[in-house]
A and B are shown apart, each in its own frame.
Chain A
């Protein structure tokens, strides 16, 4: 079956530090890959996505590249801000029905000024 493994947190960084949150997956077929972000007290928002191998998703300074050979979709940002403090979820959609999102457990990021 499908599964997503992401870096366990919490992750604490200083403002302007470099961020990497690792995500690897197991899936049948050719999954679409997502990063969702959950700010405190809010629902999940799509941060970025990639639908085929070697695609790079990007948004708000965050990037992730779909690496089929390593089954990975690591999230990166060159310079984090306090406002990036949130929980980040890696997710995939795959399979014949292609209806279901499989989520990782989430990584809490705290950015200090």
Chain B
């Protein structure tokens, strides 16, 4: 079984709709992250969480919100989706440590029409 899972894997939605992307992990890591990937731009950090009570904005948090329901679950919400939020979204986890190696889920491909 995969250590980091994301649901859904693909989603098509319309402008203005609310959508939630979910991430679960069985690695026992405290730290979780949400990234978006756009062609030619690499990965950019949206939000990160060091534990259930610690949530922080990343470099591109506008238009997004998150919820850390448990150590193993970290959800990303788009309150009112817009077309330029069409992207591939990745969840990642890491354990505290000096090198910050991160483990990624398979991604969610989101299309906003």
Which residues of chain A are near B43, meaning CB under 8 Å? 44, 89, 101, 103
Which residues of chain A are near B92, meaning CB under 8 Å? 44
A45→B101 CA distance, assembly (Å): 10
Cβ < 8 Å to B, chain A residues 1-59? 32, 34, 36, 42-46, 49, 51
Number of A interface residues at 8 Å Cβ cutoff, please give it.
20
- Among A32, A34, A43, A100, the one with the most B-chain Cβ atoms within 10 Å of its Cβ is A43
Cβ < 8 Å to A, chain B residues 59-110? 90, 92, 94, 98-107
Q: Are A43 and B42 in contact (CB under 8 A)?
A: no
Task: Out of B40, B42, B45, B107, name the residue touching A100 (CB < 8 Å).
Answer: B45
Interface SS, B side: strand
A95→B16 CA distance, assembly (Å): 37
> Chain A: which residue is nearest B50 at the CB level?
A99
Contact residues on B (Cβ < 8 Å of other chain), bracket:
20 to 34
> Chain B: which residue is nearest A50 at the CB level?
B99
Q: Are A43 and B101 in contact (CB under 8 A)?
A: no
Interchain pairs with CB closer than 8 A, number = 54
Given A43-B107, A44-B90, decide whether A101 and B42 contact each other with a Cβ distance below 8 A: no
Q: Are B42 and A49 in contact (CB under 8 A)?
A: no
> Chain A: which residue is nearest B90 at the CB level?
A43
CB distance from A29 to the nearest CB of B (A): 11
- Among B41, B90, B102, the one with the most A-chain Cβ atoms within 10 Å of its Cβ is B102
Q: Are A105 and B107 in contact (CB under 8 A)?
A: no
A51→B101 CA distance, assembly (Å): 10
A-B contact pairs, 27 of them (CB 8 A): A32-B98, A32-B99, A32-B101, A42-B106, A42-B107, A43-B90, A43-B104, A43-B105, A43-B106, A43-B107, A44-B90, A44-B92, A46-B101, A46-B102, A46-B103, A49-B99, A49-B101, A51-B98, A51-B99, A93-B99, A98-B98, A100-B45, A100-B100, A101-B45, A103-B42, A103-B43, A105-B40
With A49-B101, A100-B58, A105-B40 given, name 20 new contacts (CB 8 A).
A42-B107, A43-B90, A43-B104, A43-B106, A44-B43, A44-B92, A44-B104, A46-B101, A51-B99, A89-B43, A93-B99, A98-B100, A99-B48, A99-B50, A100-B48, A101-B43, A103-B42, A103-B44, A104-B42, A106-B42
